[in-house]
Every structure is written in structure tokens, then in C-alpha cells.
């Protein structure tokens, strides 16, 4: 189990220039870096890989940034744009030697509207079809796709571990795994430990976030059963701190961060890492 950091805590968008952060991440003790690639034109993956190597780090995951124009259940144009974008990410992951594409790979973040049951079923089947295509491409390239349920305020489509597992079953690809996040589970799951155990061997990625999106451990989440569940399922994937602050304005607005959660964002990273090492 490796502990990583999502670069949204420090910058948006991530570019070649952002690789200057790697030296600090390594100094703090992180093993992996999670890179949200907002547009594939923003980075030269071979350059980023060389900078990771130089600093003794690896890219453990690339985060799909699903804006309004990238939606596998949207208009035909949005569906194709979203699919094309994620397939290009997989191409870049090969150069980055990155195993996992993670995030809400099914729809645009922020699309949260109740729809009739028949319409929801149709959307579901549309997403299933697109994820079959994406996962086939991922499998051909030796990568995996980790689907993240989001809380009810960020999507009306997949909110829980159960819903995520249903999507995995319907897609039927060994390249599709589940990605759970303590922030979203804190809102949607009755018991985070039970959700992790239910995911079991299908858990491919894990976000460790404070209940308020701040420092893991400096919050009200009960972390002991989470740690016990990860051990019980013999989880070997990455555990990544994905927190946001008001310092990165674009992401703060997108994630509804209206106030400073911690004194500094460095503190989220350093204290969060120390807590996770101790707890996990």
C-alpha cells in the first residue's frame, strides 16, 4: 500500500512546469503522485515521467476531469468528447507508466438532477456501452479504470459502493475496478468499513480525505474500521490524499471550498501523510 498526493491541492491545471512540486512531495515522504490531467495538451507525459524518475516518485493514477462537455450520459457530442478524452488519457498513462485512470468516469461532475426511472435506466445502459469501449482500450494497453461514486451534491448517477459494483458487473470488464473516497462515503454510506469490505478485491483505488475535505485524521471520521477493512481485504493499491483549498481558485469553486479548512495546504499534506502512515 503506497501513500500518494493529488496535485489539485497545489495547482490547476497541472502542466510540465508543475513538476517542480515533485521535489517537495518526495521530501515530505510521499511515494506516488496523482495527476489530474485537465487537458491532454497541458503535459508532455514523457517529460513528466522523466521528472518523476529524477525525484524517485511514480505516477500512481491519472484523474479524469469530467467537465460539462465530457459526459458519457450527456448529448451524443458530450458522450463522444468524454470517451475520446479518456482514451487519450490512457495513451498518456502508457508514457507515464501509470496503472490507473480514476474518478467519476461516467458523467460530468456537478450534474445532479432527478430524472424519471426510465430515463435513468436508459442513461445507465448508455454509460455501460461507453465503459465497455473504454475498458477494452484500457485492457489492450495494460491499464485499469477505477470508477468513483460521488456524493449526491456532485452527481445523481452513482453515489454508493453498491451502485458502483452494479456498474462493474454490467460492464463486465476485468479492467474496471472501484474507487472509494472517504469524503463521499462519509455522506453516502451507512458504514465505511462495510463498504470497503463489500468492494473487496474489486477495490482498485482509494482516496483518504477528511470529512470536511481537510486533513485526514483532523476530522470526525472513524478511521479505525476503515484501516481494519483495508487490511481485511488485503488492499495493495494506492491511498491518496485528495484535498482542496482556497489557494487554487478554480478547483475551490468547483469543489465548493468557501473557507480555509486548515492553516496551510502544506499542513494537509504533511500531517495527513503522518496520520495515514500511523493508521494504515
Per-residue pLDDT of the chain (280 residues; tens, 9 = 90+): 999 999 999 999 999 999 999 999 999 999 999 999 999 999 999 999 999 999 999 999 999 999 999 999 999 999 999 999 999 999 999 999 999 999 999 999 999 998 999 999 999 999 999 999 999 999 999 999 999 999 999 999 999 999 999 999 999 999 999 999 999 999 999 999 999 999 999 999 999 999 998 899 999 999 999 999 999 999 999 999 998 765 665 665 666 666 677 778 899 999 999 999 999 9
Q: What is the model's pTM?
A: 0.95
CATH number for 36 = 3.20.20.150
Residue 114 has a pLDDT of 86
What pLDDT is stored for residue 51 in this prediction?
98
- Number of domains into which the chain is organized: 1
Structural domain containing residue 63: 2-279
pLDDT digit string, tens, across residues 118-169: 999 999 999 999 999 999 999 999 999 999 999 999 999 999 999 999 999 9
* Concatenated DSSP letters of the chain: -EEEEEGGGT-SS--GGGGGGHHHHHHHT--EEEEEES-GGG--HHHHHHHHHHTT-EEEEEEE---TT--TTS-HHHHHHHHHHHHHHHHHHHHHT--EEEE-TTS-TTB-----HHHHHHHHHHHHHHHHHHHHHHHHTT-EEEE----TTTBSS--SHHHHHHHHHHH--TTEEEEEEHHHHHHH-S-HHHHHHHHGGGEEEEE---TTSS-TTSSS--HHHHHHHHHHTT--SEEEE----TTSHHHHHHTT--S-SSS-HHHHHHHHHHHHHHH-
pLDDT for residue 265: 81
Amino acid at each position: 500500500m503506497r501513500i500518494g498526493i493529488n496535485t489539485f491541492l497545489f495547482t490547476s491545471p497541472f502542466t510540465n512546469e508543475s513538476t517542480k512540486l515533485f521535489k517537495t512531495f518526495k521530501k515530505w515522504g510521499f511515494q506516488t503522485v496523482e495527476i489530474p490531467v485537465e487537458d491532454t495538451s497541458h503535459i508532455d507525459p514523457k517529460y513528466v515521467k522523466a521528472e518523476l524518475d529524477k525525484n524517485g516518485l511514480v505516477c500512481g493514477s491519472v484523474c479524469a476531469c469530467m467537465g460539462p462537455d465530457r459526459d458519457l450520459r450527456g448529448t451524443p457530442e458530450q458522450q463522444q468528447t468524454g470517451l475520446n478524452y479518456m482514451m487519450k488519457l490512457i495513451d498518456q498513462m502508457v508514457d507515464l507508466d501509470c496503472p490507473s485512470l480514476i474518478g467519476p468516469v461516467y458523467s460530468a461532475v456537478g450534474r445532479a438532477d432527478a430524472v424519471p426511472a426510465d430515463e435513468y435506466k436508459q442513461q445507465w445502459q448508455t454509460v455501460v456501452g461507453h465503459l465497455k469501449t473504454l475498458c477494452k482500450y484500457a485492457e489492450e494497453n495494460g491499464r485499469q479504470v477505477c470508477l468513483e461514486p460521488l456524493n449526491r451534491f456532485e452527481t445523481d448517477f452513482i453515489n454508493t459502493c453498491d451502485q458502483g459494483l452494479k456498474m462493474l458487473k454490467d460492464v463486465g470488464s476485468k479492467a474496471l475496478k472501484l474507487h472509494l473516497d472517504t469524503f463521499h462515503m462519509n455522506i453516502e454510506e451507512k458504514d465505511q468499513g462495510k463498504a470497503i469490505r463489500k468492494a473487496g478485491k474489486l477495490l482498485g483505488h482509494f482516496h483518504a480525505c477528511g470529512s470536511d475535505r481537510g486533513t485526514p485524521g483532523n476530522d470526525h471520521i472513524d478511521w479505525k474500521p476503515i484501516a481494519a477493512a483495508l487490511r481485511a481485504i488485503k488492499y495493495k493499491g494506492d491511498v491518496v490524499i485528495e484535498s482542496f483549498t482556497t489557494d487554487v481558485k478554480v478547483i475551490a469553486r468547483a469543489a465548493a471550498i468557501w473557507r480555509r479548512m486548515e492553516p496551510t495546504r502544506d499542513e494537509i499534506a504533511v500531517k495527513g501523510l503522518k496520520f495515514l502512515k500511523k493508521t494504515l
